[in-house]
Structure 1
């Protein structure tokens, strides 16, 4: 039996796709066991152009901001449902505990939901697994 949600499954799938795009665009800085090691070519640094002040970088990839906007534009109940779906997908709750997951998510909401969800490294996987568990 599927759970009735205010949030459409298609919206959740859109969020999943955007979240996958965001995670794929992040550089893997821990390749080959070099956990973020940095090295500089001092000769190139000395001859590099120096800017007067700071300039904003333009980015062609607005996936994260689009994802954040989609989540922020949801109403309160839809945001709480999204968190509950992620928790179910993560295995914190099962389908029969959906109402409990929803209630807990509502009670524990203290920061912007988009910040919380974008902080989950496996968000797209959790949301997909949650949709599947809820038969959506």
Structure 2
């Protein structure tokens, strides 16, 4: 059996991991009608989740711009990273992700608790790390 391969680049997965961490760090909106300068409220609103959140929009746009094969890799990496299979099961995981593919991949991924952790774990099983990618971005 040949070694499993990814159609999505490790840099693309790392970008999604970094952005997902930014998105996950957000909290519920505590001051929905804040008209103050962010500096006046200790910039607490920066970590609040807003409907027009740019991080979420950027993530959704990035994921939607990926090819169907790359999106299937992302879903399969998520499943691999959360323990739904092993590297020996990669082809089956990827085939299943391909079968279930629809136009809601971004919503599915962003609705997944610990998305960044699971993607990072899945990527590490391929021998990739986001450590170099994260320098200067976090």
With the length of structure 1 as denominator, give the TM-score of the two structures: 0.72
- Structure 2 counterpart of 1:71: 63
Going from structure 1 to structure 2, the CA distance change for 1:17 and 1:134 (only over 3 Å counts) comes to same
Relative contact order: is structure 1 or structure 2 higher (C-alpha 8 Å, sep ≥ 6)? 1
Residues in 2 aligned to 1:133 and 1:93: alpha-carbon distance in whole angstroms: 11
Structure 1 residue 111, shift from structure 2 partner = 4.6
Residues in 2 aligned to 1:71 and 1:64: alpha-carbon distance in whole angstroms: 11
Query: Is the counterpart of residue 109 in structure 1 residue 101 in structure 2?
Result: yes
- Structure 1 counterpart of 2:127: 135
Structure 1 residue 28, shift from structure 2 partner = 8.7
Matching of residues 37-76 of structure 1 within 5 Å: 61-76=53-68
Residues in 1 aligned to 2:103 and 2:83: alpha-carbon distance in whole angstroms: 22
Structure 1 residue 27, shift from structure 2 partner = 2.8
Secondary structure of 2:112's aligned partner: coil
Q: Which structure has the greater CA radius of gyration?
A: 1
- Number of aligned positions between the proteins: 108
Q: Aligned-residue CA RMSD in angstroms?
A: 2.3
The one-character-per-residue Cα deviations of 1:18-62 (angstroms, maximum 9, x if unpaired) are 000001023398xxxxxxxxxxxxxxxxxxxxxxxxxxx895x41
Unaligned runs of 5+ in 2: 31-49, 129-138
Query: Contact between 1:19 and 1:67, CA under 8 Å: does it hold in 2?
Result: yes
Secondary structure of 1:25's aligned partner: coil
Unaligned runs of 5+ in 1: 30-56
